[in-house]
Amino acid sequence: MLSAEELERYARHIVLREVGGPGQQALKNARVLVVGAGGLGAPVLLYLAAAGVGTLGVVDDDVVALSNLQRQVIHGTPDVGAAKVESAAAAIARLNPHVNVVTHPVRLTAKNAREIIGGYDIVCDGADNFETRYLVSDACYFAKKILVTGAVGVFDGTLTTLRAHERNKDGAMNPSYRCLFPEPPPPGTVPACSEAGILGALTGVMGSLMALEAIREIVGFGEGLVGRLLMIDARAMRFETLNYVWDDANPLSGENPTIRDLSAHK
């Protein structure tokens, strides 16, 4: 049940017909894991905390650096040198004491991914590398978890939602991340943000959209991004959506899968 303080805190949600009291209670009951407390993870964590998600998990093994603060808005100058998960937890506590924060100060690997992800309903992946994105997407498929995954380039961003372990209303399998991107790009072909740069406000836009998508999945309103890839071009301020479907030849959830566990990941 929502307390009197929570009813006042979330009043602007509760008056929304699409959310209401039941929707706000669903948010309170939800458990969401955020992978990465960086450029994308920062706004995801802040907006999910503000929205009243009851349990937020954050997994990150890094510490706050001064160069992070141009975009990772959950951290402040006094947090430089601190573990990102602890800095994020402190910021969430200041914002909303009703949220339970579970910190995972580790690198997500094939050995711990299933155990960590298994404790949550939805995963929001804001990882900054392809290795982790493929690990998270494969782990969510095997753990039967909803995945909201976002990525940013220098001036572009993408976002989609995966329910690859489920079938759609027509009985067809929902697509997996590997249906959309069968293989990661060759090493070295996509420069890290430390080399190419990143527009700080763009990560705020994409992270906020990830939080919005997670909220819609929890509450259950609107048209989700399952089978749709949202693409943003910040240079032209253009938003486009690409539809994609299940690929029966994909190695994870295709007709003849070759990926049966996480052993191929490090």
Which amino acid does the sequence have at 16?
L
- Cβ-based neighbour number of residue 190 at 10 Å: 14
The sheet with strand 146-152 has its strands ordered as 100-104, 55-59, 31-35, 122-125, 146-152, 156-162, 228-233, 238-243
Decide if 218 contacts 126 (C-beta within 8 A): no
Whole-angstrom distance, CA of residue 59 vs CA of residue 117: 10
The pLDDT, as a whole number, for residue 186 is 76
Q: What are phi and psi of 241, to 5 degrees?
A: -125, 130
Give the contacts of 113 (CB within 8 A, at least 6 positions apart).
135, 136, 139, 262, 265
Whole-angstrom distance, CA of residue 83 vs CA of residue 105: 8
- The burial of 1, by beta-carbon neighbours within 10 Å (0-12 exposed, 13-18 middle, 19 or more buried), is given as exposed
The pLDDT, as a whole number, for residue 189 is 66
The pLDDT, as a whole number, for residue 197 is 82
Report if pTM > 0.85: yes
The pLDDT, as a whole number, for residue 194 is 65
147: number of CA atoms within 13 Å, CB side? 31
Which amino acid does the sequence have at 66?
L
Give the contacts of 172 (CB within 8 A, at least 6 positions apart).
245, 246
Token couple for 114: 């299933």
CA angle 216, 69, 199 (to 5 degrees): 65
Q: What is the pairing mode between strands 122-125 and 100-104?
A: unpaired
Whole-angstrom distance, CA of residue 68 vs CA of residue 197: 12
pLDDT 10s digits, 246-255: 999 999 999 9
The pLDDT, as a whole number, for residue 184 is 81
- Domains (range + CATH), the chain: 15-243 (3.40.50.720)
- Cβ-based neighbour number of residue 142 at 10 Å: 18
Whole-angstrom distance, CA of residue 10 vs CA of residue 50: 9
- Cβ-based neighbour number of residue 184 at 10 Å: 14
Which segments in the chain show pLDDT lower than 50? none
pLDDT 10s digits, 158-183: 999 999 999 999 999 999 999 999 88
The pLDDT, as a whole number, for residue 185 is 77
The pLDDT, as a whole number, for residue 168 is 92
The pLDDT, as a whole number, for residue 182 is 86
Token couple for 204: 């705020």
Give the CA-trace dihedral at 18, 19, 23, 27, to 10 degrees: 120
